[in-house]
């Protein structure tokens, strides 16, 4: 199992642009917390990086998926 390095995990989270992979990273962090491999500090630090990224990706996807009302209008 990969050793938890907070800075490496934070960097990885900042680089991910796929919501599924970002969520998988969060699941990995949660499992490590549940197994007491990391503490509250590491969990909170990762949450501060991952949650805003997930929200931003969700907002971007919503914008892309919404039909543009001005397209085709004259």
* Position 34 in a domain: yes
Q: How many domains does the chain have?
A: 1
- Overall residue count recorded for the chain in this entry: 74
CA-to-CA separations, 26 to 49, 64, 65, 70, 72, in angstroms, rounded = 10, 24, 25, 38, 41
* Position 52 in a domain: yes
* Position 8 in a domain: no
Nearest of 3, 17, 5, 9 to residue 48 by alpha carbon: 9
- In this predicted model, what pLDDT tens digit does every residue of 22-47 receive, in sequence order? 999 999 999 999 999 999 999 999 99
Q: What is the pTM of this model?
A: 0.77
Residue 50: domain span: 23-59
* Position 46 in a domain: yes
* Position 30 in a domain: yes
* Position 50 in a domain: yes
* Position 1 in a domain: no
């Amino acid at each position: 199992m990969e050793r938890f390095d907070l800075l490496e995990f934070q960097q990885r989270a900042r680089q991910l642009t796929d919501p599924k992979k970002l969520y998988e990273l969060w699941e990995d962090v949660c499992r490590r917390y549940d197994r007491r491999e990391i503490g509250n500090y590491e969990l909170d630090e990762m949450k501060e990086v991952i949650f805003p990224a997930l929200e931003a990706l969700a907002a971007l996807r919503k914008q892309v998926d919404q039909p543009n009302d001005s397209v085709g209008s004259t």
